[in-house]
Amino acid sequence: MMVPLDPSSKPTSQRRIAEGDTVVVYERHDAMRAVAVRPGAVLQNRFGVFRHDDWIGRPFGCKVHSAASAGGGGARGGKGKGGGFVHLLAPTPELWTLVLSHRTQILYLADISLVVSYLELVPGCLVLESGTGSGSLTTSLARAVAPHGRVCTFDFHDQRAASAREDFERNGLTSIITVAVRDIQGQGFPEEHTGAADAVFLDLPQPWLAIPSAGTMLKQDGVLCSFSPCIEQVQRACEAMRSCFTDIRTFEILLRTYEVREGGLKGATTNEESNAVPLAQKKRKLLAAAETLDVKQNSSVMVRPCSTARGHTGYLTFARLRVHGN
């Protein structure tokens, strides 16, 4: 269960791995996958063969080694690389975003976290979402409104909705998330939610078609968010919001990541002839002496931005349902 839903259930990381759990198998920061723990099953990857039976009863976060004598059929490859290991992590919405199957473009951490904050979600809220897509955001919405709130998510695509529903089941979120097949651009949200939603999230190619319905669903002062990759969509969405919404704000959020490495720079001394300028030289020697000690410390840790990054995901436009005076 990704999100504990009652007082008797501990946060996953405080538990031990049990049959039926989903664990995130961490090979490397860019190589993870979600695995359902089944007795007798094995996981085979480039690091070896791993028996699920070895995992059960161990804490999340532990390191497990590939079976020395690879049991079952799929032993090939396992032995050669022998002694490989992986870590077994407790699933979180953040890890889920990294391992889920991409049935559509998904939202990532930075956008997700801003959406949850700006929608002002807290436990107990009702939030509507369209479309469901790959369920990346949905899972975070669920965590935010759990244990007593609700996420009603809609996708016009049959199969996509079904796959998302399976994922939510697998992650123990069915009591929080309802998935329905519906063309929100064409039909709007179902009437049953009229005036009941604390927040509405739209990720639609033509959000302006759904905005009037979103306005109908929201409680007064409730927040709407529309996510669009192109500025033309934002322009039309903002236009559509102006009649019923206020406090319309459009943001873009990116994450810049940094890489850390150990080791200093080439000093001038290594390159310099010994008959160089005396004064500067002297200073350099002083520094060099100090650096020897310095290396033992920490100032040799160098950090700089990673050179490539996601340059754009989309624009997030937030707006509040206007409150009517009397």
Partner 1 sequence: MAAIPREAWEGCSVLLDINDGDRLAFFRLTPAATVKVGNRTCSLQPLVGRPFGSLFSVGPSGLVPCADAPSSRDDTTQDAADGPSQDETRDNRSLVDNNTAQNLSSDDIEAMKRDGVSGDEIVEALIANSSTFGKKTVFSQEKYKLKKQKKYAPKVLLRRPSTRSICETYFKKSPARTGFMRVDALSLLLSMANVGPYSDVLVVDMVGGLVVGAVAERLGGTGYVCSTYLGSAPSSIDIIRMYNLSSDMTTRIVQAPLSGLCSLQNSGDVSSGLNDSIQGEAQEPTAVPVENTQPSVPQPTDTAVPDEKTQSSKEQSIDIDIPEPLLDEHVNQDGNSSLDSKRDEDGSSIGPKSLKAGKAPSPERMKYWSEHGFSSLIVAAPGHDVESFVADLLPLLSYSAPFAIYHQYLQPLATCMHSLQVSKMALGLQISEPWLREYQVLPSRTHPHMQMNAFGGYILSGIRIHNGDACNGSK
Supply the minimum distance, in Å, between the C-beta of residue 208 and a copy of itself.
17
Supply the minimum distance, in Å, between the C-beta of residue 146 and partner 1.
5
Tell me the Cα Rg of the chain: 26
Supply the minimum distance, in Å, between the C-beta of residue 73 and partner 1.
26
Q: How many Cα atoms occupy the beta-carbon half-sphere of 176 within 13 Å?
A: 30
Q: Restricting to residues 38-67, which ones interact with partner 1 according to CB under 8 A? A: 57-63, 65
Q: Restricting to residues 132-151, which ones interact with a copy of itself according to CB under 8 A? A: none
Nearer to partner 1 by Cβ, of 76 and 310: the residue is 310
Told to check if 159 binds a copy of itself by CB under 8 A, we report no
Q: Is 253 exposed, middle or buried (0-12, 13-18, 19+ CB in 10 A)?
A: middle
Interacting span for a copy of itself (CB under 8 A) from 104-112, 140-148, 196-204, 290-298 = 290-298
Could you give the string, one character per residue 65-104, with x where binding to a copy of itself holds by CB under 8 A and - elsewhere?
----------------------------------------
* Cβ atoms of residues 145 and 125 within 8 Å: yes
The DSSP call for residue 291 is: H
Nearer to partner 1 by Cβ, of 70 and 137: the residue is 137
Could you say which of 71, 77, 190, 229 contacts partner 1 (CB under 8 A)? 229
Which distant-in-sequence residues (6+ apart) come within 8 Å of 63 by Cβ? 85, 86, 87
Interacting span for a copy of itself (CB under 8 A) from 166-174, 261-269, 291-299, 309-317 = 291-299
Q: How far apart are CA 182 and CA 300, in angstroms?
A: 57
Told to check if 253 binds partner 1 by CB under 8 A, we report yes
Nearer to a copy of itself by Cβ, of 271 and 292: the residue is 292
- The listed partner (partner 1, a copy of itself, none) that binds 99, CB under 5 to 8 Å by sort, is none
Interacting span for partner 1 (CB under 8 A) from 1-9, 68-76, 166-174, 184-192 = 1-9
Could you give the string, one character per residue 281-320, with x where binding to partner 1 holds by CB under 8 A and - elsewhere?
--xx--x----------x--xxxxxxxxxxxxxxx-x--x
Query: Which residue do the tokens 């079952």 mark?
Result: 72
Q: How far apart are CA 197 and CA 228, in angstroms?
A: 21
Told to check if 122 binds partner 1 by CB under 8 A, we report yes
Q: Is 205 exposed, middle or buried (0-12, 13-18, 19+ CB in 10 A)?
A: exposed
Supply the minimum distance, in Å, between the C-beta of residue 185 and a copy of itself.
24
Q: How far apart are CA 252 and CA 31, in angstroms?
A: 28
Could you say which of 53, 94, 183, 294 contacts partner 1 (CB under 8 A)? 94
Helix axes 158-170, 136-145, angle to 10 degrees: 50
Supply the minimum distance, in Å, between the C-beta of residue 108 and a copy of itself.
22
The distance of Cα 37 from the centroid of its chain, to the nearest Å, equals: 22
Question: Known binding site for S-adenosyl-L-methionine: residues?
Answer: 134-137, 155, 183, 203
* Cβ atoms of residues 255 and 309 within 8 Å: yes
- Peptide bond before residue 80 is cis, with ω within 30 degrees of 0: no
Specify which residues 228 forms β-bridges with.
315
What count of other Cβ atoms lies within 10 Å of the Cβ of residue 281? 16
Q: How far apart are CA 269 and CA 288, in angstroms?
A: 8
- The listed partner (partner 1, a copy of itself, none) that binds 180, CB under 5 to 8 Å by sort, is none
By CB under 8 A, name the binding residues for a copy of itself. 231, 287, 290, 293-294, 296-297, 299
